[in-house]
Structure formats: C-alpha cells, structure tokens
Amino acid sequence: MTRRTIWWGDHDEVVVIDQTRLPHELATVEWRTLDHACHGITSMQVRGAPLIGVAAAHGLALALAERPTELDEAIRSLTGTRPTAVNLRWALEQMAEQLGPLPVDQRAAAARGLATEMADHDVTACRRIGEAGVGVLADVHRRTGRPVQVLTHCNAGRLACVEWGTATAPVYLAAQQGVPVHVWVSETRPRNQGASLTAWELADAGVDHTLVVDNAAGHLLREHLVDLVIVGADRIAANGDTANKIGTSLKALAAREHGVPFLVAAPWSTIDPRCATGAHVPIEERDAVEVLELAGRPIAPPGTRARNWAFDITPAELVTGYLTDAGHLTPAELRARRADDGRVEAPGTAPGTAPGTAP
C-alpha cells in the first residue's frame, strides 16, 4: 500500500481523494477551510468511519489555523456532519482534550500535528487488522486448496481509511503472501460504493473480484460460493452489535443460515462503550433523492415516496468474530476488553493516543 486518501499539501491545505468522482476519474480536492471539510464529509468526498475521523481532525486543524479561539464551535460543526460513525466523535474528543488546555496561539500547530499522528496511527491500526485476519484466509486456502472466496459489502477498503482498509486489509496481506483470494463485491445501493469504490481499489491492487447485485448474497451463500463474509463497521456497541452500511444485517442472517463465518473488521476507535446496544446507535437517513434517481435521472414515477436509511444493525449473535488492531476476537472476548472508565483502549495504548498504537 502506497497511496493515501488524505494528506497535507504544500501550502497548508488538506488534499483528499475525491471519492464522488470514482471510478471514472482519480482526482483530488483541496480543503482550505472548515466549511470545505464539513462539505467534504457530508457530500462523501471522503467516507468510511476511520477516514471520517481522520478527516474531521484535519478539518479542525484548518479551522484553528483561521480562528484558534473557536475550538468548541468548530467541533460542533464537524460533529454534525455524519452522526453514525463514532470515529468522528472519538477523533474530535481526543483533539479537544489535548488542545483545550493549550494557549490559543499554540492550538493551530498542535492540531496539525495531532491530525497527522491520527493519520499515521490509522495506517498502523489497519495493518494490524490485516495481520489479525490474514491467518484466517490462509487457513481456508490450506484446507480447500483453492482461492479463498470472500464476500464483502459497501467499501471497507483503503478508500474508507487512510491506507490498507479494514475488511480489505487481510485480503491485501494475503495477496502479498501468495494466498489466492477472490472477492465477491456487492454493489451497495443506493450510492453503489461497492461498485464504484471497492471494485475500483481491488482492480487497482490486482485482486481478483466479481461484482454482484446486493440481493445475490443469499444465492452465493446457498451455492457454497463464499468461504467468509468480511465487512467493516461504522460503530460497534458495547455488546458487539454492529452498525454498518444498510444491507449488512441481511448478509449476516444469510451467512448464519448457511454456516459461513461472518467477520467484522474495525479499529478500536469504532467501538463505542457508551452505546450499550445497537438500539442506541443513531441511524443516519440521507436524502431520498439518492433512492429515487440514478445518475441524475428519475427511476421511479413522479410523486413516489422513498426512505433512505444509510445503515442497519447486525446483532452481535450473528457475528463470528471481530478483526481488530488488538487481534482476532470472539464477541465474548471483545466485550471482556471494554475499559471500565468508559473508553475502549487497545492493550498498550496510553490515554490520548490513537487506539492500537504504542504511546
């Protein structure tokens, strides 16, 4: 992995890959203000829970470079951009904790440094997620003697993070280690992140893959064409319930019915110990036009009503295991690692540093 999704430009601007223009064009966009960052997150120039958190940290750094006294106001603006992804809140809370006590004239430089550290930590965490899962793929290959068949949903790849990705990290590491892998990519209506983003990045990495419609998952599982389902997460509740892109829970149900392991890949910053169960996760509802139109053209009769929930909840009992930067954990092991003080920290992590990394 060499291409990052977010970085600092030569003139103190934040540069991001504009994911709204993929797969047709690999282009970047520059953020120079807080408003640019908020728009970039809301419009999904950047998306994916880990990347949203890192992007929010960079947006806060831009805000403080302009108005270092308005820390709280900038945090409020960024917090409202995407309500389901807990990484955004985690990143901003970490920034506030460290920037709040500083003299105003030191905040901008410190914020930039913290944002850069968070990006670097995300790369490390995702690599560790890959290391937690690559053995699972290798075991399947040794047992079957054929390419490992992985089903994924939405985009939990490197485009959803700074680098490596979560659900795709084991796939990329397996490919590097000579383990053959084929990925079934569900298109992920209505924004088609599977088709436009996951398929693009797998092709870019040279990983064998096939695009299918969302509702093909049950058929694939019934026909024994899938060895593992690996998805990402936007928020994991304290009991292990997982919020992820709408349609994830149906894949989990089908996987359970057909005896296929269902794995959730996420860094520790995605776990929310203050959220007891999935019932407490706020579910973002986006503009209905995303359902009613395709490429700007109506696909339903005039006057049709639509609802557009962006996420659903997969109960912990449907999850076989969690691939994290602290290792491959069962649901019981994940719950046992919750910190008593209301935070989730990877072993060896000091308060105020990114999860999954040493101080």
Which residues participate in catalysis according to the annotation?
234
Q: 17 and 82 in contact (C-beta within 8 Å)?
A: no
Q: 183 and 202 in contact (C-beta within 8 Å)?
A: yes
Name the nearest CA neighbour of 55 among 19, 22, 25.
19
- Measured at the alpha carbon of residue 48, what is the angle toward residues 46 and 49, in degrees to the nearest 5? 120
285: left (phi over 0), alpha (psi -120 to 50) or beta: beta
The full 3-state SS of the chain, as one line of letters, equals CCCCCEEECCCCCEEEECHHHCCCCCCEEEECCHHHHHHHHHCCCCCCHHHHHHHHHHHHHHHHHHCCCCHHHHHHHHHCCCCCCHHHHHHHHHHHHHHCCCCHHHHHHHHHHHHHHHHHHHHHHHHHHHHHHHHHHHHHHHHHCCCEEEEECCCCCHHHCCCCCCCCHHHHHHHHCCCCEEEEEECCCCCCHHHHHHHHHHHHHCCEEEEECHHHHHHHHHCCCCCEEEECCCEEECCCCEEEECCHHHHHHHHHHCCCCEEEECCHHHEECCCCCHHHCCCCECCCHHHHEECCEECCCCCCCCCCECEEEECHHHCCEEEECCEEECHHHHHHCCCCCCCCCCCCCCCCCCCCCCC
